[in-house]
Amino acid sequence: MTMSINGGMEVKKVFIGAGCNRVVNNVSWGACDLVAFGAQNAVAIFSPETAQILTTLPGHKASVNCTQWLPSNKFAFKAKELERHYLLSGDADGAIILWEFSLLERKWKYVLHAPQSHKKGVTCITGIMVTKTEAIVASTSSDCKVHVWEVLFPSTTGGDCKLQCLETLFVGSKPMVALSLAELPGNTGHIVLAMGGLDNKIHLYCGERTGKFLRACELKGHTDWIRSLDFSLPICPNGEPNSILLVSSSQDKGIRIWKMTLRSSLCSTQGAYRKEEMSLASYIEGPVLVAGSSSYQISLESLLIGHEDWVYSVEWQPPSTESVEGTGYYQPQSILSASMDKTMMIWQPEKNSGIWMNVVTVGELSHCALGFYGGHWSPSGDSILAHGYGGSFHLWKNVGVDLDNWQPQKVPSGHFAGVTDIVWARSGEYILSVSHDQTTRIYASWQNEASLRDGDPWHEIARPQVHGHDINCVTIIQGKGNHHFVSGADEKVARVFEATLSFLKTLNHATSQNISLPEDLQADVQVLGANMSALGLSQKPIYVQATHDTPDRNGNDGLDTLETIPDAVPAVLTEPPIEDQLAWHTLWPESHKLYGHGNELFSLCCNHEGKLVASSCKAQSATAAEIWLWQVGSWKAVGQLQSHSLTVTQMEFSHDDSMLLAVSRDRQFSVFTIKRTGTGEISYQLLARQEAHKRIIWSCAWNPYGHEFATGSRDKTVKIWAVDKGSSVKLLMTLPQFNSSVTALSWLGLGHQKNDGFLAVGMESGLIELWSLSVKRADDGSGSAAGVDAAVAVKLDPFMCHASAVNRLAWKGPKKSENCNIQLASCGADNCVRVFEVNVDYVEN
């Protein structure tokens, strides 16, 4: 996705990193071979082929609970000629949105909101394609209602979609959480709707395409909540479809397969049928389902026991086309199940006896994982995808020729809660992000031949911190030597981390030796990796020389206690890691703790020289709102700056490190002068403090080549200020009011000799704008600013932006001042980390 404006500026999406919402039914794999999932209140679309998130769809006001492709993977054999595919998404407020995807243009379009929305969160959406231009859809919600919809797609380009509610079913006091639809075999024109939920029963409703669904019967057997239901396509033993299968899974850890057979075929008196009935797979007869003039005998085909925890999803393998023309189809007898026991299983009937057996088991062995919320087949049936408790995806592909050989594949990854802060590495080779999901993650462009061939090669390459508190802020230490960062979480301690030798070598692989690793640095770094402590707060180093002998560090004589955590095995990665490696083997050791603040850490920044770190915490008093200065290296507190009375929300050092700017919830900004005395001590003084806005000031940014700065506030304004002759601060201009609160700012300069630059503005709505700024200098030779010219350079397309508040913006500046591509990183409350490439065709006047 790209966009440009007159004046030679183009903005292109480079990378999106996001985790999946931790709810059942959140993921859907479409016939177009794209996967949709909810990332907070955005709907994210990713390509399993490239392991990249392609785009996010903004529109939901609440967290997205479920998605459903039309056509889904089940109808891929019917969808080969379709030019447009559709997607339904439901959120925690009860809203359902229909989206359109054009295969030829690879573009997305918002179509409509469902007219009769649910009153509470939507928990499941299911749909079947009846014809190429018609689908029947059902949705269920915590409001104890099930809506049945008819969706009419346009037969010509540019036509309108129509969504009509055919029926609303009241299901009593216990809501339904699982749904499945199917056309009944035998050309009856009837549709069966299966629903299951909190009453442990499967309820079957029958109706025609025009609506009016009647309760037909119920199936009993499960002893806990029903979590998933899926109908197969009709099975044709003799060329005529006469039965369909329904698979159900439950929190009772069991899976049941139910068979619905047209009764005319049951009346057969052939001996072969009687013989089959007496076999080991004999039916346990259940109720009869009546649909118009036809009736169907329901029987329990099989009970599958194998999982050791709740089974959250079951899904039939998608049918494959039988002929070259694609007219017929074959429904494989194969079921995929996913469970909270951290495994997915494929079940198939044994050829001779017909007994259903577990033929494939794949899983996540990391102790960090807490099980799977769902499993899905690819349309071709050669890949299976799971999403887990940690917001992560897990993909296996059958690469075997004669025998099954399921191997893990690369998938997109990211935070599964709001991303609070983001920062570029010193040389811009990676970005570091922190989140309320209690992790710190590193993303980098993996530049090898294979990844360049696959498209944009950004991946998560390390997870240096996995913590026990929500992380609010981070800063990378500038200067020479090993990579260090400081993070602050919902605790009173800031923590310092240093890069491991395995990470430095991995980074070398990722950047294709563009940034060579100095031999002296390799010799200095004696830490190979890090181990997690039992409580998940501190990370202990694994030293290079200690890897040869690994004593039992638990020392509990084999007793199984909370302390028994497996040792990490740090390794140099030669290709982007999968979740199992990221979650456990890429940690950095914690080298120092910074004690001093009385409340939870809120903001951090480091000066450009890499000698000072400033920190602030949540505050409701002047004492708590102090800014602490820390000496890098010794990590001693060397200053406590007092100015504000409420939380300092952001801080930044000026380009020459002579000043520190701070903005606060008390609507004021402060500018401190920072000096280093001859003895090396730090002296500081409050230069200016001013009430700058009518509401909270969320963000600030210095001009990288001057003493001008910008402040952004909840009052929807951005103001440009200048430090006048080093003694006072004056207002240069106020940008026109924005449509939403300004939550993030970042200023990019275009070279020492130029007074021009770009100001990136991020808003609470998720939108991002780029403004061109040109500072006018005074004629008296002092170099002080006399004014500033500002104009909108580009407003990013909402489909490129965040779906909720932008929390931080950070430019990766150009190495040289000529025309070049500049990268902008952003993070937001929609769980997303984004990287944009801004192509600036800059001509100096």
- How far apart CA 777 and CA 603 sit, in angstroms, is 32
Burial class (CB in 10 A: 0-12, 13-18, 19+), 824: buried
Q: In this structure, are residues 307 and 347 in contact, taking their beta carbons and an 8 Å threshold? A: no
pLDDT at 668 over 90: yes
pLDDT at 778 over 80: no
H or E element in which residue 52 lies: strand 52-57
pLDDT at 278 over 60: no
pTM for the whole thing?
0.90
Give 674-691 pLDDT, tens digit per residue: 998 877 788 999 999 999
Give 406-416 pLDDT, tens digit per residue: 999 999 999 99
pLDDT class of 275 with cuts at 50, 70, 90: very low
Angle of CA points 394, 399, 405, to nearest 5° = 80
Give 173-194 pLDDT, tens digit per residue: 888 999 999 998 876 788 999 9
HEC states along 699-758? EEEECCCCCEEEEEECCCCEEEEEEECCCEEEEEEECCCCCCCEEEEEEEECCCCCCEEE
Q: What is the pLDDT of residue 187?
A: 67
Look at 35 and 367; give whichever has higher pLDDT. Answer: 35
H or E element in which residue 809 lies: strand 806-812
- Cβ neighbors of 785 (< 8 A, separation 6 or more) are 706, 707, 708, 722, 724, 732, 775, 776, 777, 778
* Closest-CA residue to 673 (of 607, 733, 574): 607
Give 533-588 pLDDT, tens digit per residue: 655 667 777 776 654 444 444 444 443 433 445 676 777 888 888 888 888 788 89
Integer angstrom CA distances of residue 718 from 158, 511, 649, 692, 807: 40, 37, 16, 10, 16
Biggest distance spanned by C-alpha atoms of the chain: 108
Q: For residue 380, what are its two tokens?
A: 């071709």
Q: What is the pLDDT of residue 566?
A: 62
Phi, psi (degrees; rounded to nearest 5) at 218:
-135, 150
- How far apart CA 749 and CA 770 sit, in angstroms, is 13
Q: For residue 442, what are its two tokens?
A: 């590193």
Q: What is the pLDDT of residue 570?
A: 76
- What is the torsional sign of CA 315, 320, 322, 328? positive
Q: In this structure, are residues 687 and 750 in contact, taking their beta carbons and an 8 Å threshold? A: no
- How far apart CA 78 and CA 598 sit, in angstroms, is 63
Q: What is the mean pLDDT of residues 520-540?
A: 65
HSE toward the beta carbon, residue 385, CA cutoff 13 A: 31
pLDDT class of 368 with cuts at 50, 70, 90: low
- What is the torsional sign of CA 635, 636, 641, 642? positive
* Closest-CA residue to 128 (of 71, 193, 208, 211): 71
Q: In this structure, are residues 740 and 767 in contact, taking their beta carbons and an 8 Å threshold? A: yes
pLDDT at 122 over 70: yes
pLDDT class of 257 with cuts at 50, 70, 90: very high
Give 70-102 pLDDT, tens digit per residue: 999 898 888 888 889 999 999 999 999 999 999
Residue 17 pairs in a beta bridge with 833
pLDDT at 279 over 50: no
Give 632-663 pLDDT, tens digit per residue: 989 999 999 999 999 999 999 999 899 999 99
